[in-house]
Amino acid sequence: MSLARAKIAFTTEDYLAWEERNPGKHEYLAGEIFAMVGATDAHVTITGNLFTLLRAHVRGRPCRAYMADMKLRVDAADAFFYPDLLVTCAPEDHASSRFKRQPTLLVEVLSAATAAFDRGQKFGIYRQLPSLREYVLIEQNRMSVECFRRDEQDRWVLQAYGPGDRVELSSLDFSAVIEVLYEDVTLPAIPDDDWRLPEENTD
């Protein structure tokens, strides 16, 4: 989703109380509040497809999946975000009704307005979560999934997936063909490889 600045100089307590009184969703970062802007059909459909798969996958296990409307608290950055998809396996999170703190998996579906932030500053903030094992970025205009995994040396390793691949989320022992994530999504047409050079000016 896109972000639009709303107000500055809020405390955490101010933000939580203010958001409960105001319609819509708002993210918070170090005293600033940002209003969330509506998403596209493709964005919502991709998020819903993956959420449906993950919710079924973790059923009966000590993990829970949340889509879009659950806040994530990152204490180290004094931030609250609304990830497109969040999975937590922490008992402490299960007992917290307003926000979660210990995600195992976070997913963001990219848009033109948020892609740079999701890849850059937001990923830097998410990396401060000790519980986080995988961070997934999904393109909505082409069949592309990037999964950043935290290895045993606390390094983040990228695994990219494209058409025909199985998307692997090792933190949850989950896999699915990438096409299932894009079910009911109309992707832009790919330009033909056959293209002609501009004609020479013979004047």
d(CA 97, CA 90): 13
The predicted pLDDT at position 113 comes to 87
Judging by DSSP bridges, how do beta strands 134-138 and 103-109 pair with one another?
Answer: parallel
**Among candidates 40, 128, 137, which has minimal Cα distance to 83?**
137
The predicted pLDDT at position 190 comes to 67
**Tens of pLDDT, residues 14-31:** 888 988 888 888 899 988
The predicted pLDDT at position 14 comes to 87
The predicted pLDDT at position 191 comes to 58
In the 8-state DSSP scheme, what is residue 44? H
In the 8-state DSSP scheme, what is residue 183? T
Among 8-12, 32-36, 38-42, which is the least confidently predicted range?
A: 8-12
Contact 56, 26 (CB under 8 A): no
Looking at every residue in the chain, the average pLDDT score rounds to 89
Mean pLDDT across 99-112: 96
Q: How do the domains of the chain map onto residue ranges?
A: 40-181
d(CA 112, CA 59): 34
Mean pLDDT across 125-144: 97
Judging by DSSP bridges, how do beta strands 145-150 and 156-161 pair with one another?
Answer: antiparallel
pLDDT of residue 5 exceeding 90 = no
The predicted pLDDT at position 159 comes to 97
Fold of the domain built from segment(s) 40-181: tt1808, chain A (3.90.1570)
d(CA 198, CA 155): 47
pTM metric for this prediction: 0.87
